[in-house]
Structure 1
């Protein structure tokens, strides 16, 4: 990609001045969307994206060279990627960028960006950040989730429409437990439902509640839903990805831009829109007009916004599952072995598994 020769521009964002370097650098070649276009997008949906991130420790997904053809994210095993996750506050951050200390499963700690004003988000976009991955906690209570996040993840052979059909049943299930969820597109093929909860349970407990909800959906829709961690067991079903509620596993925030060729964004929805929604309709170019028309549909999920729900009823369902012989499920591979966790062995390679 050719280096931009356009001078930097300075934008007044609230009481801050945010410097945008190489503003004409193309970030999404298929659409001709530049860095300054992405900055202007986050400013257009400013109250919404700030509400989604405000006071939450946030991992930055940075694509400093833009979304290139065949681009991929760096991983621990393969660090030579076009994009990467930044979990620690970048060196040289302005003194008005607040941080929060989080603890990873390994026991290590880090200070992550903790947005408290829109200028922080614009500053991060200038660094190449497209997707913001907030923890489901407030920065001053990093061990107490205040959101239960349900990720409906389409597996090969399924798509967003399948996830949308499952979401209708999920809404009914939540209501049975006295819970209410707010849906949004993932920005890709999936669908997310966030439930604001009282911040008095641990990550382990909230993950356990998510497993219980997933298992009940699986019982009701056995041909459409799975909680199977191993890909070889999932089939053409929607995965309730319960491990997205494990500590240090995060989900793209509402209004985040995804690293897709068309610059799709994660769009909050009304429940009456879920069945007919098309993820491709929500992108950097179209979302500002929608936001101006409907406002922030996810405002209820912000830190301190309104009453939170209890998950005691869901945890009681988890107790019943356990009494019936359904224990814990595998954690992500980077986790230390957790109490009560089954073996992390792919079923087809498990020599002790009954045949």
Structure 2
């Protein structure tokens, strides 16, 4: 029988962990307590990734079991896991929040981690994956991070994402004078973060992200695609430019992903990127790595860069190549200059 709860000291606080012996990952027997202890072992790293950021909590309160289902937008029926976008009722008064505005114009107070105890408290709620916004709580409309999301499509794999990242992505970063910080997604892809000055709007940051993605695609068209429509992507690595829109998030570094072997999103160095595999980094292995080598993203806040060059490239794409905007995600209102959000094979105008 599971013990009712324990108290874990975290700094000056005591965090209550209910049902600590509940098994969250049956394939390996990892319990809720072990998940909480994992987050505390990498606390400096995950706090660096989430500190002062409005953060959506991906909660799996019953663990990751066969057949478990994550709620989708508008459909919570029978779901075993869900995204918590508003601070839960009954949160301790020491859990800070930040007000964010959704694309619909509605607002919400989201959890904003500021100390390891907040991470541990969220983990007790079943949070495995932390999804921070690309903004800080004091400037919620001005991102301070450009996010480059490399998503291998069917017929490609992690090795292809590595080839693109070490090739045209890194070449372009160097040309722009950017310092990029790379991590595994915890699944099959890679993420590259670039800190930017919080001077631009979400729309402008997304526009810069599209310009970056298109330039990478031009350099490696056989490997890379920027097509929003899956039917047009082929066996290539998709650079998801819409990770830079309002209310789009990416799993934070050191987040746990809801897969049977409990993988984590792992910051890595550029030098070790050719020799790693996503399955190398799990709840079991990451604490030892973190203790031995520290956080490869430790310097991520040391410099912030400008988007002027990328925005000029976006202007040239439009002026000289006739390349305008690309589709927004379906939860966004229709944006000025945006093309139709119609799957090409279902677009009557394209078929005629």
* Cα drift, residue 300 of structure 1: 2.6
Deviations 1:266-304 (A, max 9, x none): 000000111121000100000001001111111233xxx
2:25 pairs, out of 28, 31, 35, with 28
Please give the per-residue CA displacement for 1:116-168, whole angstroms capped at 9, x wherever unaligned: 11000000000000000000111000011111000000111111111010001
Q: Does the alignment pair 1:103 with 2:121? A: no
Counterparts of 1:177 and 1:54, CA distance in 2: 27
Matched, 1:295 2:294: yes
- Deviation of the 1:171 alpha carbon: 1.0
Post-superposition CA distance 1:17-52 (Å, at most 9, x none): 101010000000011100000011011111111111
- TM-score in terms of structure 1 length: 0.97
Aligned partners of 1:203 and 1:245 also within 8 Å: yes
Q: Find the residue that maps to 1:272 and give its secondary structure.
A: coil
CA distance in 1, matches of 2:172, 2:101: 32
Alpha-carbon distance, 1:71 to partner: 1.9
Instruction: State the partner residue of 1:85.
Output: 83
1:48-197 to 2 correspondence within 5 Å?
Answer: 48-80=45-77, 81-168=79-166, 169-197=168-196
TM-score by length of 2: 0.98
- Equivalent residue for 1:198? 197
Aligned to 1:14: 11
Cα displacement (A) at 1:306: 2.0
Matched ranges for 1:256-335 at <5 A: 256-301=255-300, 305-323=301-319, 324-335=321-332
CA distance in 1, matches of 2:261, 2:134: 28
Looking at structure 1, the residues matched to 124 and 35 of structure 2 have their Cα atoms a distance apart, in angstroms, of 9
Check conservation: 1:330, 1:344, Cα contact below 8 A: yes
5+ residue gaps, structure 2: none
Taking a change above 3 Å as real, the CA distance of residues 201 and 99 of structure 1, as seen in their structure-2 partners, is same
CA distance in 1, matches of 2:85, 2:149: 21
Contact 2:2 2:20 in 1 (8 A): no
The separation in 1 between residues aligned to 2:53 and 2:118, in whole angstroms, is 12
CA root-mean-square deviation = 1.0
Cα offsets for 1:188-219 (capped at 9, x unmatched): 00100000111101111111111111111111
Instruction: Tell me what 2:229 maps to.
Output: 230
Indicate yes or no: 2:239 matched with 1:243: no
1:247-277 C-alpha deviation (Å, 9 max, x unpaired)? 0000000000000110000000000111121
- State the SS of the aligned residue for 2:350: coil
Q: Residue 52 of structure 1 contacts residue 299 of structure 1 at CA under 8 Å; is this kept in 2?
A: no
Match of 1:132, SS?
A: strand
Q: Deviations over 1:215-243 (max 9, x none)?
A: 11111111110010011000010000000
What secondary structure is seen at the aligned counterpart in 1 of 2:33?
A: helix
Instruction: Identify unmatched segments of 5+ residues in structure 1.
Output: none
Q: CA shift at 1:354, angstroms?
A: 5.5
- CA distance, structure 1, for counterparts of residue 3 and residue 220 of structure 2: 55
Contact 2:58/2:81 (8 A) holds in 1: yes
Show CA shifts across 1:94-124 (max 9, x none): 0000000000000000000001110000000
